[in-house]
Chains A and B, each alone.
Chain A
């Protein structure tokens, strides 16, 4: 396992040295500043228009959820783009040969890289999720209902996508890997909205399509569960936010997503162990 930690350290340092980490953090801070500024002006507008406390709280809650949604999208893109080249690129260039011929198991190489990216992404998600919630609370007095649950679910979504990217990275070229992973997430995204729309319009078949999409790729389910955990039930009921609670992924689906994450991680290890480098 020592070698896995060495690889994790190298992967994290690579992200820092290649400025991926710093650029992501800078973009994240810029996003948080922009969001704070927008929220501040919105609060001023509420003051000027004498919007009452109850409505104001629900509106701010809706805006906060949209902020979380933007963060979730950034996390998805960041996860896939940062890690898409790590295995397929090194296999294609032959760089992995110099490591694989050392007294290091292939699983340690993969697990180490996964840990390195996981650490970097965890920092990023923590900064963004906790940051936006703290800022919103400071500016408006409104915060997410269960922020740690929300953070955990968004983190899990990122780790799931990381495992899927690693898995495809052991099979395909960098470009194909990116297209496949983002394509699958796109499918889940569409399925999620279809499921919501189906639930609102009482169309069971549309709900079924969404569930099937979630089974194929449960990443979007994690986000929808995160919204459910963070958004107040009243905001959901009053439709102050675009995120409906009409069809909330069950704990069983979250368990399935966790299993999916672990399965893809081990499938990636299994594939790397067997393939030619």
Chain B
């Protein structure tokens, strides 16, 4: 563990504000993290992760590359030791073996002993979960079928493609029928058919009652599968949102205008959380859909010529770019 420089501590002091208490009883939470922080030498990987994930929900964890997503997941899985903070997973402290027995995990790039066959790999992981051999005799072929690898059950992993490795990784994460499933970039290396498979598995896991923690930077994946989503940036959760707020909301405005002054632009902030005017294109995220007519009236009354005025749906992508900045690599 490296020494944290004073400048980092200063930054920390500014950003680590007291977090509100959870509104959901702890027993109903699959994950409860409070100010989890990880510092690698002089780099803060995770500044202070605070979030609650309810049991039975599919929770998306979104952020650009290097935002601290994987480190956060690894801390929750006891692979990386937090520098400070604490968390509970399935009501038990991080690293608790009873909790681990109910967790499944697919790493971003699944790698394992390449001399094992697909069947042997699943049997081994099943044994590490203490699943009786009789149960494994049925479950292993079922899992192989689920991930579409039945024809390759006797093939060694060294002969697997990247996509096939990801599929067998997915199968080992499901072998114990987990209560909590961590998927770290699960579609990495998968073709469209494989991506569809991942979506279907997430759906069936939710139907089974499992909690899914989906770590991804693919917005489309999150948009289709998740109930809630957390945006993480520079090692900190910026916002947690219900996915319904994207589906129902039509809170955006896109307009083509001329003759708009700085004062009028400033005045628009009374209606919107963000206002952007680039040449003639005015883009706003309204505080409520009912405000659109009032905005139009305001513009006209202040002498702005409006050529086009369209309410638009604020998508996950819009919000992602708004929060994280368009210049971050996705």
Residue-wise, chain B 103-119 has the 8 Å CB interface mask toward A (1 for contact) of 10101011111010000
A36 CA to B101 CA, complexed, in Å: 54
Residue-wise, chain A 202-213 has the 8 Å CB interface mask toward B (1 for contact) of 000000000000
Residue A49 at the B interface, CB < 8 A? no
Q: Interface range on chain B: under 10, 10 to 19, 20 to 34, or 35 or more?
A: 20 to 34
Residue-wise, chain B 37-80 has the 8 Å CB interface mask toward A (1 for contact) of 00000000000000000000000000000000000001001111
A17 CA to B116 CA, complexed, in Å: 9
Q: Which of B110, B112, B115 contacts A18 (CB 8 A)?
A: B115
CB closest chain-A residue, reference B169? A98
Residues of A within 8 A of B169 (CB): 98
Task: Choose, from B123-131, B304-312, B313-321, the stretch at the interface.
Answer: B123-131
A18 CA to B172 CA, complexed, in Å: 23
Q: Flag if B115 contacts A17 (CB, 8 Å).
A: yes
A6 CA to B131 CA, complexed, in Å: 13
Residue A102 at the B interface, CB < 8 A? yes
Given A14-B113, A103-B100, are A97 and B79 neighbors across the interface (CB < 8 Å)? yes
A187 CA to B74 CA, complexed, in Å: 40
A95 CA to B116 CA, complexed, in Å: 13
The minimal Cβ–Cβ distance linking A37 to chain B, given in whole angstroms, is 35
Residue B7 at the A interface, CB < 8 A? no
Given A14-B113, A14-B115, A98-B110, are A103 and B129 neighbors across the interface (CB < 8 Å)? yes
A104 CA to B103 CA, complexed, in Å: 12
Residue A145 at the B interface, CB < 8 A? no
Residue A105 at the B interface, CB < 8 A? yes
Q: Flag if A100 contacts B115 (CB, 8 Å).
A: no
Residues of A within 8 A of B101 (CB): 103
Residues of B within 8 A of A104 (CB): 97, 100, 128
Residues of A in contact, count (CB < 8 Å):
23
Q: Which of B79, B97, B107, B124 contacts A103 (CB 8 A)?
A: B97
Given A3-B128, A6-B124, A276-B81, are A102 and B100 neighbors across the interface (CB < 8 Å)? yes
Q: Which of A17, A101, A105 contacts B77 (CB 8 A)?
A: A101
B window 99-157: CB within 8 A of A: 100-101, 103, 105, 107, 109-113, 115, 124-125, 127-130
Q: Flag if A10 contacts B80 (CB, 8 Å).
A: no
A98 CA to B116 CA, complexed, in Å: 14
Q: Flag if B78 contacts A100 (CB, 8 Å).
A: yes
Q: Flag if A6 contacts B77 (CB, 8 Å).
A: no
Q: Flag if B107 contacts A97 (CB, 8 Å).
A: yes
Given A98-B105, A102-B100, A103-B98, are A10 and B113 neighbors across the interface (CB < 8 Å)? yes
Given A276-B74, A276-B80, A277-B79, are A102 and B125 neighbors across the interface (CB < 8 Å)? yes
8 contacts between A and B (CB under 8 A): A3-B128, A14-B113, A17-B115, A97-B79, A101-B100, A102-B129, A104-B100, A104-B128
